[in-house]
């Protein structure tokens, strides 16, 4: 049987980082998720949907386009539409506050898609190289780096989000 020790660890890390992120924002209202916490920043909801769109983008690379990503899930995650959207395929961000559950459901669905694919992998697959085209240029990545980057990226933005929540006075109150 193929070795999966590293795959299992990476899956655990992806699940754990998401659990901590969601616990840190589960007290926010739909208005707080939609309103920039401080001037010049993206709303916390934009960050959340960014995690969903990033799951989809890197799933496409990891699977070498073998996993079908529906237009519906792209639309619900505001794929290339809200957080740092750019390019010819740039979509439109939402114009009114989404229901809180819409963020959590979309993020859960995209993360499940990603984890379902990673669960088909073995440790040997982590060393495989894939090519991703961006802005007309080809970039090569090792699958292990892609999964590491997803973890690192979420940790980075989670820190930003939690700092923005503190700056806005929206931090979760600690139980005594």
The strand pairing partners of 134, in sequence order, are 137
Architecture of domain 5-134+144-168: Up-down Bundle (1.20)
If DSSP codes are grouped into helix, strand and coil, which group holds residue 18? helix
Token pair listed for 21: 């992120």
Choose among 19, 11, 5, 6: nearest CA to 119: 11
In this predicted structure, what is the pLDDT of residue 88? 73
pTM value is 0.94
In this predicted structure, what is the pLDDT of residue 135? 84
Alpha-helical runs (H) found in the chain: 5-25, 30-34, 44-62, 71-76, 100-118, 143-168
Choose among 104, 109, 53: nearest CA to 77: 53
CA 34 to CA 38: how far, in whole Å? Answer: 12
The strand pairing partners of 103, in sequence order, are none
CA 7 to CA 10: how far, in whole Å? Answer: 5
In this predicted structure, what is the pLDDT of residue 175? 61
In this predicted structure, what is the pLDDT of residue 89? 77
In this predicted structure, what is the pLDDT of residue 83? 86
Per-residue pLDDT of the chain (176 residues; tens, 9 = 90+): 789 999 999 999 999 999 999 999 999 999 999 999 999 999 999 999 999 999 999 999 999 999 999 999 999 999 999 888 777 778 889 999 999 999 999 999 999 999 999 999 999 999 999 999 888 999 999 999 999 999 999 999 999 999 999 999 999 877 64
- The domain limits of the chain are 5-134+144-168
If DSSP codes are grouped into helix, strand and coil, which group holds residue 81? coil
Choose among 22, 30, 6, 43: nearest CA to 154: 22
């Amino acid at each position: 049987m193929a070795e999966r020790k590293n795959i299992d660890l990476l899956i655990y890390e992806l699940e754990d980082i998401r659990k901590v992120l969601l616990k840190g924002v589960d007290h926010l209202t739909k208005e707080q998720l939609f309103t920039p916490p401080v001037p010049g920043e993206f709303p916390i909801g934009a960050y959340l949907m960014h995690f969903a769109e990033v799951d989809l983008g890197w799933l496409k690379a990891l699977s070498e386009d073998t996993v079908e990503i529906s237009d519906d899930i792209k639309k619900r995650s505001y794929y290339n539409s809200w957080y740092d959207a750019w390019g010819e395929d740039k979509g439109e961000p939402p114009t009114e506050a989404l229901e809180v559950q819409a963020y959590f459901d979309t993020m859960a669905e995209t993360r499940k898609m990603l984890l379902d694919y990673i669960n088909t992998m073995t440790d040997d697959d982590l060393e495989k190289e894939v090519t991703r085209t961006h802005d007309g240029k080809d970039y090569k990545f090792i699958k292990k780096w892609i999964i590491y980057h997803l973890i690192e990226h979420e940790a980075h933005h989670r820190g930003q989000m939690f700092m923005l929540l503190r700056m806005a006075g929206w931090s979760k109150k600690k139980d005594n």
